Chain A
């Protein structure tokens, strides 16, 4: 029976099936744990406790989540225009370059109230610019965006190595990183923010960019589903010929979708560079751009889903680190394997269970009498 065209209620589609997928992934992860002689239940307990059990753990979890939200949204926006932006990694990296250049030039001149917005804008602008080129090439020259964005990740990486080693490096040191920015350019950490209200929480990397990520979720939702431009984006994404018929210019949609996508990916630099490292360093995107693809897939390209998926990956990152620390038998690589299983079941095999769910649903649901 072909079940792909049978519609399921939204709650099954966005809640039940993803949870089933995660259960499948955890089941296989559990088998691996058993194989090396670790009690899976205990492992899950350590993981959850590490991610949520105490303030520091929670802080780290949400700090990772922030990055995933940005890159997940980036992939989702492009996806709604039927584009597969694999260049989040490079766009985030170049976004960091934007922040670095602006702050290295201005951090001693301007007050925080100006520096922070300028830094955010620079991250967005540089990320967008890095995505603009593949977007333009796709729209006007037909070079496939998947290929070009992958290439641009390498170009970004090479460019940053060159700049950090030769140009932006702090004079008189060996490690390829810029000088620290003035404190005026540091994005307030969450514990500082809470401190303003007299609430004391543990110091963690979690900073105000988490709030920015949530704001971006709302903005992306409004943009895609509630504005004229999002309507154009979706029309061109679903059907280029319908877009042309409606007087929408698909090429422009491709370019603008890539720019918005790149700007969102660039926001990773706000969290990492402005919020945590306070200087330009090498390889700070650390795979967040790629994981964003899995996040968007799992979150069904919807901001709410992306927040949930990002949180899940945040838990995996932080809880996984805790696990590797607590149980020496479980190495970092094993944690990566568990993450891989979750990506496999939620991304690549996302619809594997759907036919059975559909059948079950049809069985339990009373059939309305409708004739063809």
Chain B
């Protein structure tokens, strides 16, 4: 498949990857182990992936997926074990070695330079001539060929910053292919895509497979595994617990393998309609935000949340949901419009800060737990009072009542099954799921009238998701008004009584939680549904 017509430099690059031996396996890992301090991230992992197949790797957070792939891509060295590429043992010391061995990686967060064009990004670091113009001409020829072969259409001369997320991702794939990758690793590739964009990605992956490229797909979305992979491996707590043909398994079976126990799927919508006279806790009218660069982040948002209901806000990340949460939580101010939240009137001229919001029983579980929700360098106990030091029980004449804070933190940890349940540990040393449970515990323990929740289960294990969902539903059943922002459609559909869809800062659709289906919501998230807002 390698075009021999190119120059000698390419020939050198490609020899490493085009050596074909008799091995049917593109990748073979033998007894790979890796430990970080006391943590065994990978233990005796065996893995074989046949050439020209799509292989899925699933597992909860911290199961060791990323470590394993980082070893394959040269970010880490395995403590013991062997890596074979095309049947040949190989030492991958850094990403340069990995690229030379024909391995390409598309990271969850793209490694692209925004102001550069697609062409410039692709050739960055792989320029073949001293003069950019020569390199660009070469790259253009090669990229045209690649996009024809794999149906990867991207405007080569568009700056990356102007492209849709799906196109940026295709650029990343082109980057890997341009470097002669025959094994492509994709880390959570659909996290930032609409369902339609994800479908396009899968078409590309199928085209790659038909051309003999081996694809490894790391994801926690089991539906994708079922749709596209040929074989799948399950990691749990650093160990490989199963290798199966996708055709022989089911989502339920995979989920149980990941978690190691039975799971019950539930739908959490209200069984009965709210009474007519239910109190309204959030009411916004024509809420708009224009940021300092003049970009409209929110436009004419009108929504209402009543006591005892969950309003879900669906949308692809970056369409204004975060700003909506910030405005309602008192962190940002609306430019125009106003809203009433739990009896307080808020507008640009009458701002209410986050502290006062809490004092008025409006609590906020932020989207970004590491930047907002807690302070990584603090102990769990210190993080567990973030935003609540105004409460009299935590301080006495300005002095922290540490024993009291620790005791309360231990109680919170107990109630939300935060592990390890030690208030003296650094917040950063908990796993993502346990950090999230600690934040939820802090915000929910106060029994607020209004709860603003952003991405409550992002990066959280399946086991913990159940608990978090149940706690949010319990709040709703206790009469709390919940506004839930999530990019996970499954989550929105499982929890929301009503769903609003946001697109480019506007609300483009409203659906009843019970009637929602994924395809329609997906179209709405791209503002491509019947009745789209123009």
Binding site for B on A (CB under 8 A): 6-7, 222, 226-229, 231-232, 234-235, 238-239, 241-242, 244-247, 362, 367-372
Contacts and interface: CB of A to CB of B under 8 A. Distances in A.
A372 B378 CA distance: 22
Given A228-B398, A238-B378, A372-B64, 13 more contacts: A228-B399, A229-B398, A235-B375, A239-B371, A242-B372, A242-B373, A244-B354, A245-B372, A246-B387, A247-B390, A369-B38, A371-B237, A372-B39
B399 A242 contact: no
Contacts of B382: 231
A247 B400 CA distance: 17
26 contacts: A227-B400, A228-B399, A229-B398, A231-B382, A231-B389, A232-B389, A234-B375, A234-B377, A235-B375, A235-B378, A235-B386, A241-B368, A241-B372, A244-B331, A245-B331, A245-B366, A246-B355, A247-B354, A247-B358, A247-B387, A370-B38, A370-B40, A371-B237, A372-B39, A372-B63, A372-B64
Q: Which of A231, A242, A369, A370 has the most CB of B within 10 A?
A: A242
A371 B238 contact: yes
B395 A372 contact: no
A372 B41 CA distance: 5
B191 interface: no
Contacts of A367: 35, 38
Nearest to A239: B375
Nearest to B35: A367
A247 B238 contact: no
B398 A227 contact: yes
A370 B400 contact: no
Interface of B: 35-41, 43, 62-64, 67, 237-238, 329-331, 353-358, 364, 366, 368, 371-378, 382, 386-387, 389-390, 395, 398-400, 402, 426, 429
A244 B364 CA distance: 12
B386 A242 contact: yes
A251 to B, nearest CB: 13
Contacts, number: 94
Given A362-B37, A370-B40, A245 B237 contact: no
A245 B402 contact: no
A227 B64 contact: no
B237 A228 contact: no
A226 B364 CA distance: 26
B238 A372 contact: yes
B67 A242 contact: no
Contacts of A369: 38, 40
A276 to B, nearest CB: 35
B40 A372 contact: yes
A244 B354 CA distance: 8
A226 B399 contact: yes
Given A226-B399, A372-B63, A238 B39 contact: no
A190 B143 CA distance: 81
A371 B63 CA distance: 9
A247 B355 contact: yes
A362 B377 CA distance: 22
Contacts of A238: 375-378
A310 B90 CA distance: 53
B400 A245 contact: no
Contact of A245 (B238, B373, B377, B426): B373
A180 B237 CA distance: 74
Contacts of B40: 369-372
Nearest to A245: B372
A274 B355 CA distance: 44
Nearest to B64: A372
A239 B428 CA distance: 13
Nearest to A222: B399
B67 A372 contact: yes
Contacts of B402: 226
A239 B37 contact: no
B353 A247 contact: yes
Contact of B375 (A7, A227, A242, A362): A242
Contacts of B373: 242, 245
A372 B398 contact: no
Contacts of B376: 238-239
Contacts of A226: 399-400, 402
A227 B401 CA distance: 9
A6 B389 CA distance: 30
